[in-house]
Amino acid sequence: MNRQILTFVILILSATVAFSQTATPTPAGGDVQNVAPEDLKGVPSIAPDYRSDERSLPDLGRVGVDMTQQRTLTLRETIELALSNNRDIEVSRKTVRMAEFDLQSTRGFFQPRLSGQAYYDHTTTPNVSIFSNNQKTNQGTLLGNAALQAFAPKYGTVFTGSFNNSRVTTDNPISILSPQYTSTMAFALTQPLFRGRKIDAARRSIEIFKKNLSLTDTQFRQRSIEIVAGAEKAYWDLAFALRNLQVQRDSVRDAKSQLEHNRRLVDEGQLAPIDIVAAETQVANFEQAVYDALNVVNQAENALKNLISPNRGDRLWSEALTPIDTVELEAPRTTLSEAMDMALNNRPELEMNRAQREINAIDQRLYHDQKRPQIDLIASYSSSGVGGRQNPDFSPTFPTPCSTAPTSPACAQQQANLALLTGNPLSGIFANRYPTFRIGVQFNLPLFGDKTAGAMLGKSKVEAERIETQREQIEQVVQVEVRNALQAIRTSEARLRAAAVARENSAKQYDSEQRKLDAGQSDVYKVLERQTALAAARSNELRARTELNKAIAELERATGNSLKAKNIEPK
């Protein structure tokens, strides 16, 4: 009896353990619904009895386009329109012109400059001199000065010439002349010996603006290459879209022809009436494919028009574009090394990097020069002349040789000096009567070295390293693009071959399946399947050709050869 009770307890425990191992734990936040998918509860009922009874086809047209207004377009015309009407190209042209004006404005620093001043003033001053009995002195001055400054940019030389003139009238009794004319002609030269002799800030700006002009030209060429490649790809996309539309239209005709053929077979008793349903569905599917293909045409054409039309109101938008160039383009036969050499020589990105490196070299030249001592050679020469009439108010308060001994040699000399003073001031200038010569040096040296120039030189050297790193990065990106473009051409050629074989074989299989159907050895579903495969094969063949043409355009872009290949010289 005890043995039976023990056996019963063991069975109960075993069942409990088995249940705990196979039971699914309840997830947090809800109860498990152990129901079959078809018995799922809580699904809302939305339009349960909806059935579309519409059987008429919508308008088979294109929005905003008169399909009877066909405009033929060659690839050359497409590229020319894209380059002439693209806003980015126009902006690039304006940028180039702005860079030219920047260069002209910087060169203006070294233009000769004529400066001067002319004025009249009258002053009244109190008398503070024991040599005059006047309570105040009145003086009028008429002044006219002019100076001409010129440069020799190659060596940093500065030339200055000036011509100063003044006419002074006064009632001061100790002034010998009134009016008194004074003229001075002077010439000066400043020649940097170290700092500023080979380069300075102005010459640096000119060199940089020259490089910026070439850099802007390169950016303009880069944008032109991108536009040419984009226009070419858009042209082939439209060609494929139109070809695909033709295929889908012809497929509808084939499907309707097959439908009529099936109806005759039904009438002859070779097919069951239900087989007509599949053919009718095939016709509806191909009709839908025509609308899909027409939508693709519209999108491809709008993309191309966006590249070549000058504005949204142009007549081009209402016309149906028709590409007429042959799609049979010859793929370039080039090796990887040849393509890479071409890319490294032609890619605008590398040209821009070279221009940046040259600009950096100019900066380094300037900052090297700024660290040199500033010592300038200066030289000047001036010649002066004085003239006028004897002051009627002249009354010296001290004895003069002529007032004490009118017949003495000293009085004669005084009279001779007065005669010189009352002459023409220009005669004194050209007679070199009162010359002044000066020659020497001037310097401006920081006591502990030019830390600013040193820091800027260090920064420019780091910038050179950064530019070189960028160049290596650009070259690697160019290599990837060239490799991918070459590989894409080979892949596209293989895809085109396979697509041509598939199209040819699909046509054979479709014809064969039709003959089998007529002989009672096949069914309508296989015929429709072959018909669908043939339509797809026809589209895929030109798609493969289009992708090959686009791969050729991409290789031309990757090697920087798009403009040369199309004989285009951007202006």
CATH for 487: 1.20.1600.10
| pLDDT, greater one: 183 or 413 | 183
Instruction: Give the residue carrying structure tokens 């349960």.
Output: 48
pTM over 0.75: no
DSSP string spanning 351-417?
HHHHHHHHHHHHHHHHHHHHTS-EEEEEEEEEEEEEEEEE-TT---SS--HHHH-TTSHHHHHHHHH
**Are residues 212 and 338 part of one domain?**
yes
Average pLDDT of the residues in 51-63:
76
- At 480 the pLDDT is 97
- At 49 the pLDDT is 79
- At 398 the pLDDT is 65
Among 48-57, 209-218, 312-321, name the one with the lowest average pLDDT: 48-57
Dihedral in degrees, nearest 10, Cα atoms 552, 557, 563, 567: -10
For residues 347 and 479, is the Cβ–Cβ distance under 8 A?
Answer: no
Give CA–CA dist 258/522, Å, rounded: 14
**Are residues 284 and 419 part of one domain?**
no
Ranked by mean pLDDT, which of 229-238, 505-514, 526-535 comes out on top? 229-238
- Domain assignment present for residue 271? The answer is yes
Pure H helices in 86-200: 87-107
**Are residues 294 and 210 part of one domain?**
yes
- At 392 the pLDDT is 80
- At 21 the pLDDT is 46
**Are residues 211 and 185 part of one domain?**
no
- Domain assignment present for residue 80? The answer is yes
Q: Of 444, 467, 502, which one is at a domain's C-terminal end?
A: 444
Average pLDDT score, the chain = 86
- Domain assignment present for residue 32? The answer is no
Average pLDDT of the residues in 457-463:
94
- At 24 the pLDDT is 45
Range of the domain at 287: 72-98+204-365+453-565
Average pLDDT of the residues in 474-490:
96
Average pLDDT of the residues in 270-288:
87
Give CA–CA dist 446/454, Å, rounded: 12
pLDDT band at 1 (very low <50, low <70, confident <90, very high): very low
DSSP string spanning 80-91?
HHHHHH-HHHHH
- Domain assignment present for residue 9? The answer is no
Q: How far is CA 54 from the centre of its chain?
A: 53
Q: What is the pLDDT of residues 7-37, one digit of tens each?
A: 444 444 444 444 444 444 444 445 555 777 7
- Domain assignment present for residue 4? The answer is no
**Are residues 92 and 152 part of one domain?**
no
Contacts (Cβ under 8 Å, ≥6 apart) of 309 = 81, 85, 316, 317
Over pLDDT 90: what percentage of the chain?
50
Average pLDDT of the residues in 46-56:
77
**Are residues 243 and 346 part of one domain?**
yes
Closest listed residue to residue 304, CA positions, set 246, 227, 249: 227
pLDDT band at 187 (very low <50, low <70, confident <90, very high): very high
- At 382 the pLDDT is 95
- Domain assignment present for residue 7? The answer is no
The structural domain count of the chain equals: 2
- In the predicted structure, residue 267 carries a pLDDT above the cut 80: yes
- In the predicted structure, residue 396 carries a pLDDT above the cut 90: no
- At 16 the pLDDT is 46
Q: What is the pLDDT of residues 328-354, one digit of tens each?
A: 888 888 899 999 999 999 999 999 999
**Are residues 276 and 138 part of one domain?**
no
Average pLDDT of the residues in 202-226:
90
- At 10 the pLDDT is 47
| pLDDT, greater one: 31 or 244 | 244
- At 32 the pLDDT is 59
- Domain assignment present for residue 132? The answer is yes
For residues 316 and 305, is the Cβ–Cβ distance under 8 A?
Answer: yes
Q: What is the pLDDT of residues 492-525, one digit of tens each?
A: 999 999 999 999 999 999 899 889 888 888 888 8
pLDDT band at 430 (very low <50, low <70, confident <90, very high): confident
- At 164 the pLDDT is 95
Q: Is the dihedral of CA 487, 491, 494, 500 positive or negative?
A: negative
Q: What is the pLDDT of residues 93-145, one digit of tens each?
A: 888 888 889 888 888 888 999 999 999 999 998 887 767 777 888 899 999 99
- In the predicted structure, residue 441 carries a pLDDT above the cut 80: yes
**Are residues 156 and 240 part of one domain?**
no
Over pLDDT 70: what percentage of the chain?
89
| pLDDT, greater one: 24 or 63 | 63
- Domain assignment present for residue 103? The answer is no
Instruction: Give the residue carrying structure tokens 């940093």.
Output: 156
At 521 the three-state DSSP class reads coil
**Are residues 314 and 220 part of one domain?**
yes
Q: What is the pLDDT of residues 165-175, one digit of tens each?
A: 999 998 888 78
**Are residues 173 and 153 part of one domain?**
yes
Among 229-243, 278-292, 355-369, name the one with the lowest average pLDDT: 278-292
**Are residues 221 and 149 part of one domain?**
no
- 23: tokens are 């039971």
**Are residues 345 and 222 part of one domain?**
yes
Q: Which residues of 109-123 are buried (b: 16+ CB within 10 A; e: fewer)?
A: eeeeeeeeeeeeeee
Contacts (Cβ under 8 Å, ≥6 apart) of 249 = 290, 293
C-alpha triplet 557, 562, 568: angle, nearest 5°: 155
pLDDT band at 403 (very low <50, low <70, confident <90, very high): low
